[in-house]
């Protein structure tokens, strides 16, 4: 087995669960099922049961993303370490466990800063990411509508932008010259940053147009005499199954998290003869990344404007 001390910190252990500076839209290499170690940290007031439940959920998210959990590490702290989120001793413990289990990626249950992620990868010799990256990856797999794809792409770019860094000698390579559209002496890092910033602005403009269209639809709906019923609940709790059972909507149903990312509305006639509009929505999850809450604001507005909410709970 390769010793982590000899690994190039600029390269992942074996493909990596995420390359935040690359061109791929995915955060996970699907050529094989990566081996993952989960890391959870308890802060005051400490609640071991809550931490365990959160790691159980993270393991389900990792499985949905297409990887396998091979170990867990937990720590109690008063505050996150500014450099590595966890203490130096715990980082070494994870490093040893990573070598023992031949893990590819370490996934933290809390969001890492770009500098913490970089420092951890340098010490561990393999990719280190957080819950946010896993959820973004799953959303990237499951977004199908134009709006859903744009929302996920926007959140992904906003997550990647502060995490851009040079790979190998890329940071020192000058990209300017005859026949290029880049500025004189512009590094690849600067080109990547400029391209992502441009894409963020374009996606924000596209989503503003979609939001305007949705607002027009909502005004028309409010003028309608039909009441609006919205199905809400945890992801994979059975919301889409309920919609299909009541309306034969034909919405995709799978036994995995976040199979549905796009709101679907169908007309339903009640036994008494009254008709209502019934909408299936994106599922809830603990520690939902703020990037996705912002990106899916227009979709979540459906919940706020419903006349009645049906909360589906998986018993």
Q: Is residue 202 part of a domain?
A: no
CB of 139 within 8 A of CB of 155?
Answer: yes
The two tokens of residue 302 are: 């459906």
CATH number at residue 268: 3.40.50.300
Domain end residue (candidates: 141, 169, 188): 141
Tell me the C-alpha distance between 104 and 66, whole Å.
Answer: 13
Whole-model pTM above 0.85? no
Tell me the two tokens of residue 54.
């959160």
CA 200 remoteness from chain centre: 17
**Is residue 207 situated within a structural domain?**
no
Q: Last residue of a domain, which of 123, 141, 159?
A: 141
Nearest to 235 by CA among 201, 258, 214, 212: 258
Tell me how far apart the alpha carbons of residues 137 and 133 are, in angstroms, rounded to a whole number.
Answer: 6
Give me the CATH number covering residue 53: 3.40.50.11060
CA atoms of 76 and 196, how far apart (whole Å):
37
Q: Containing domain of residue 284, as a range?
A: 225-312
Residues 235 and 125 both lie in one domain:
no
Instruction: Report how many domains make up the chain.
Output: 2
Q: Do both 129 and 250 map to the same domain?
A: no
Task: State residue 261's pLDDT score.
Answer: 73
Residue 185 lies in a domain: no
Give the separation between CA 38 and CA 70, rounded to whole angstroms.
8
Residues 17 and 117 in one domain: yes
User: Does residue 58 lie within any of the structural domains?
Assistant: yes
Q: Find the angle CA(142)-CA(145)-CA(146) to the nearest 5 degrees.
A: 125
Taking only the tens of pLDDT, the chain with its 315 residues reads 333 333 444 444 554 444 433 334 555 556 778 999 999 999 999 999 999 999 999 999 999 898 999 999 999 999 999 999 999 999 999 999 999 999 999 999 999 999 999 999 999 999 999 999 999 888 888 887 888 888 889 989 999 899 887 544 333 333 333 334 455 556 888 889 999 999 999 999 998 888 888 778 777 767 778 899 999 988 888 888 999 999 988 877 777 777 767 778 899 999 988 999 999 888 888 887 777 776 666 667 788 888 999 999 986
Q: 94, 106 in Cβ contact below 8 A?
A: yes
Q: HSE on the CB side for 243, CA within 13 Å?
A: 27
Task: Answer yes or no: is 46 within a domain.
Answer: yes
Based on the fold, state whether residues 11 and 104 are members of the same structural domain.
Answer: yes
**146-160 vs 188-223: helix crossing angle, rounded to 10:** 140
Asked whether residue 255 is assigned to any structural domain, the reply reads yes
User: Chain centroid to CA 195: how far?
Assistant: 21
Residues in contact with 208: Cβ distance below 8 Å, sequence separation at least 6, in sequence order: none
3-state secondary structure 141-208: HHCCCHHHHHHHHHHHHHHHHHHCCCCCCHHHCECCCCCCCCCCCCEHHHHHHHHHHHHHHHHHHHHH
Residue 294 placed within a domain? yes
> 8 exposed, middle or buried (CB, 10 Å; 0-12, 13-18, 19+)?
exposed
Q: Which residue has the tokens 């049906």?
A: 310
| Residues 14, 127 within the same domain | yes
Of the residues 124, 141, 158, the one at which a domain ends = 141
In this structure, are 13 and 128 located in the same domain?
yes
Based on the fold, state whether residues 122 and 244 are members of the same structural domain: no
Is residue 150, in this structure, part of any structural domain at all? no
Judge contact between 159 and 132, C-beta under 8 A.
yes
């Amino acid at each position: 087995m390769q010793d982590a001390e000899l690994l190039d910190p600029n390269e992942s252990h074996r493909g990596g669960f995420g390359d935040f500076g690359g061109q791929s839209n995915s955060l996970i290499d699907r050529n094989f099922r990566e081996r993952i170690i989960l890391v959870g940290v308890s802060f005051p007031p400490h609640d071991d049961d809550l931490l365990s439940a959160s790691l159980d959920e993270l393991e389900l998210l990792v499985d949905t993303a297409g990887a396998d959990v091979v170990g867990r590490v937990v720590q109690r702290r008063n505050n996150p370490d500014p450099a590595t989120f966890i203490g130096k001793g715990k980082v070494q413990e994870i490093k040893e466990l990573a070598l023992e289990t031949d893990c590819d990626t370490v996934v933290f249950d809390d969001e890492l800063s770009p500098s913490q992620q970089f420092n951890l990868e340098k010490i561990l010799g393999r990719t280190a990411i957080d819950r946010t990256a896993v959820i973004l990856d799953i959303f990237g797999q499951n977004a199908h509508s134009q709006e859903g794809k744009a929302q996920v792409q926007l959140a992904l770019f906003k997550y990647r932008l502060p995490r851009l860094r040079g790979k190998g000698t890329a940071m020192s390579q000058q990209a300017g010259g005859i026949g290029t559209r880049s500025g004189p002496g512009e590094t690849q890092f600067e080109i990547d940053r400029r391209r992502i910033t441009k894409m963020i602005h374009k996606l924000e403009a596209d989503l503003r147009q979609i939001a305007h269209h949705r607002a027009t639809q909502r005004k028309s709906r409010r003028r309608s005499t039909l009441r609006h019923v919205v199905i809400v609940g945890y992801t994979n709790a059975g919301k889409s199954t309920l919609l299909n059972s009541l309306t034969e909507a034909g919405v995709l149903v799978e036994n995995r998290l976040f199979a549905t990312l796009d709101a679907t509305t169908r007309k339903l006639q009640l036994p008494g003869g009254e008709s209502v509009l019934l909408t299936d929505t994106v599922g809830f999850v603990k520690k939902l990344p703020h990037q996705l809450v912002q990106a899916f604001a227009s979709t979540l507005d459906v919940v706020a404007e419903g006349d009645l909410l049906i909360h589906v709970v998986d018993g």
